[in-house]
Structure 1
Amino acid sequence: MVLTGTLINGAAIIVAGCIGLMIQNIPEKMKTTVLQAIALAIILLGIQMGLQTEQFLLVIGSLAVGGVIGEWIGIDSYLNKFGMWIETKLKPAKSGESGKVAQAFVTTTLIYVVGAMAVLGSIDSGLRGDHSLLYTKAMLDGLSAIIFASTLGFGVLLSAIPVVLYQGGIALMATYIAAFVPDVLLEQFILEMSAVGGIMVVAIGLNILGVTSVRVANLLPALPILALLIWILSMF
């Protein structure tokens, strides 16, 4: 089935997140140190992804235009509102924990969807019925979900929803993508998408550390803008 890899990826986040929620007796200092370590690792991953670019002007242009569109739409605001709405449906938050569900949801959603592995794995699932890449991603996401859920809380489990919708949508559209997009353009898009996604990942890591407060979700339109720019350049 086309969506097998995607559904397993979503299930891995939920199951692993539940395991992380059970690990509640961790000292606060230890949670802080672990979360900071994860943030530093995320920054390193983002730098590695960003250095893959061969067209840096495309990266800058797509991020700039995508940022304008994202701010106009208010994607970050909508994601936070969704997380806050879920939070109101749960038990009343403890003192000082208001907004924690929304923060965990937005942070982990962005981490799980901006990587090239999500796109490549979904395309493989849709085109060839090969779910091996998404199985690998499911394992990695699951391991990180345990840590994130134990430190950030319930909101981590909610990230499974956009992951399934995003990856599932790509998998279902993969046949049409292959029919209309040449392999060379697809490869270039994936390469530059890794760079654009890498910059977002660095921003996520810095946000977790509290160094910045970048509204990373508002940069997501940079991905379709990047695809459009690559297609325009290919015509000249």
Structure 2
Amino acid sequence: MPVATIVNACAIILGSLIGVLLGRNFPDRVRTIVYQGIGLSVLVIGIDMALKYDNIVLVVFSVLLGAVTGELLRLDQRLTNLGNILKNRIKSRDTGFTDGFVTASLIFCIGSMAILGSIDEGIRGERTILLTKSILDGFISIPLASTYGMGVLFSALPVLIYQGSITIAASQSQAFFTPMIITQITAVGGLLIMGIGISLLDIKKVNVTNLLPSIVYVVFFAWILN
């Protein structure tokens, strides 16, 4: 059972509720500097992860194929549609609901802590990584929710599904997740995280959603080479 993932989802919900309650009482200047801090932190984490590759050609090839696949499948539009459906279901009037749902989902789901932590819990029953991630996600949810509203809270759903699925899969196929595969996943995940950091810093809008298939490709190619 993905216990740590459930704790992670609860931390996001709690942080989001605090952020929604603060709302306009959260000073703009504080919100701005917090976003910049988050953006810089996410960017550095992404760079650190991306440099841990075993095979750079494999990483680049996976990202390029993933970009084409994601664009053809219009994953960004599908995720946006999901956000709009949730917004309509709960009859939310938050203008930033969908943006908050998409942004928070990407921040919380993509990264070494989400992937490696889920694998670690599935294989060894070790929950330290995901519990640490839960604390970070809970604090990050506060400024996000104060800006975007309830959409951030509902990002707990994809986190629950995504990390929980990885944990269950890892527990059933421990031999599959070799060190090489984990390293390559980390490298590609790092590139995607860099894209999130660049977007948060308003340097350039990177469509990270449509790059998500890159993770599937790198697992497949790493498995073949392995």
What TM-score do you get using the length of structure 2 for normalisation?
Answer: 0.92
Aligned residue among 172, 178, 198 for 2:174: 178
Give the deviation of 1:129 after TM superposition: 2.6
* Cα separation, 2, equivalents of 1:38 and 1:151: 14
5 Å matches for 1:113-152?
113-152=109-148
SS at match of 2:174: helix
Matched positions, count:
224
Give the deviation of 1:141 after TM superposition: 1.2
5 Å matches for 1:103-122?
103-122=99-118
Q: Which has the larger radius of gyration?
A: 1
Q: Which amino acid aligns with 2:179?
A: E
Paired position in structure 1 for 2:193: 201
Paired position in structure 1 for 2:38: 38
> Does the 8 A contact of 2:184 with 2:219 survive in 1?
no
Q: Give the fraction of aligned pairs with identical amino acids, expressed as a percent.
A: 38
Give the deviation of 1:54 after TM superposition: 2.5
Paired position in structure 1 for 2:11: 12
Structure 1 segments, 4+ long, off by >6 Å, are: none
* Cα separation, 2, equivalents of 1:91 and 1:70: 29
From the superposition, tell whether residues 10 and 121 of structure 1 become closer, same or farther in structure 2 (CA, over 3 Å): same
From the superposition, tell whether residues 233 and 127 of structure 1 become closer, same or farther in structure 2 (CA, over 3 Å): closer
Paired position in structure 1 for 2:93: 92
5 Å matches for 1:17-32?
17-24=16-23, 25-32=25-32
Give the deviation of 1:80 after TM superposition: 0.9
> Does the 8 A contact of 1:35 with 1:151 survive in 2?
no
- Provide structure 2 residue ranges, at least 5 long, that are not aligned to the other structure: none
5 Å matches for 1:72-83?
72-83=72-83
> Does the 8 A contact of 1:17 with 1:148 survive in 2?
yes
What TM-score do you get using the length of structure 1 for normalisation?
Answer: 0.88
Return 216-225 or 48-57, whichever deviates more.
48-57
* Cα separation, 2, equivalents of 1:233 and 1:169: 24
Paired position in structure 2 for 1:65: 65
SS at match of 1:159: helix
* Cα separation, 2, equivalents of 1:175 and 1:86: 31
